[in-house]
Amino acid sequence: MKTHAALTLLLATIPFSCALATPPAEKKGEEAAQEAVGRCCAVLPKGEINNPVFLKQDAGKKEAEVFIIATFDKSNYGMNFNGVSKSEGGYEIPLGWKVKVTFCNNSDVPHSVMVVEEDAAERKINLGDTPYFDGATTPKPNTLGTTSKVEKFEFTPDEAGDFSFACGFPTHSANGHRIFLKIKKDLKQAAFIVPAKKKEPEAK
């Protein structure tokens, strides 16, 4: 079994959307703040994704917000989420929590994200496959994908188990474009986990 280091990211003071990228230095104050809100990483110059936020949670409300960036860096030929691929890292979420997903693709190649069973993600996702939980996918994950805008969806897992956030394009997930999603009964808080051998990913 692979060893993982848990990284739980709590944001008490940083707005979620504003933490996705640092505004250009020449823009200050209200103008820069307004531009930062709602920006998609796909329309930013390469290398401008700074201090990305991968997880925000509210244990009282039993909610976890996850931010997933496709092609965050060049690892696994760009087929990664948040710099992680081949299910070597991912999210752990307590059973019964609502999961709010914000997805963005930092590549000109269309990608998507959908929740499927772990073994299905390792084999192959086919045209017409649907997410394991109702609503747990970006629009048309097998055929359309996303390249230039933020996609959002939310779902509430109703069973524990090992799943994956996987790219829905055929062969992408099987080639490593996936991270794990573990729904656990005994968890008290959500976590974003990266491999112990790998530091928190940094955009290049």
97, part of any domain: yes
Residue 134 placed within a domain: yes
Instruction: Count the domains in the chain.
Output: 1
Digit-coded pLDDT (tens) for 52-76: 789 999 999 999 999 999 998 889 9
Structural domain contains residue 200: no
pLDDT higher than 60, residue 36 = no
Residue 44 lies in a domain: no
Q: With a cut of 60, say whether residue 171 has pLDDT above it.
A: yes
Query: Has residue 75 been placed in a domain?
Result: yes
Lowest-confidence region among 92-106, 112-126, 189-203: 189-203
Range of the domain at 69: 4-39+49-195
Whether residue 201 lies inside any domain: the answer is no
Buried b (16+ CB within 10 A) or exposed e, 4-26: beeeebeeeeeeeebbbbebeee
Residue 24 pLDDT class (50, 70, 90 cuts): very low
Q: Please report whether residue 22 resides in a domain.
A: yes
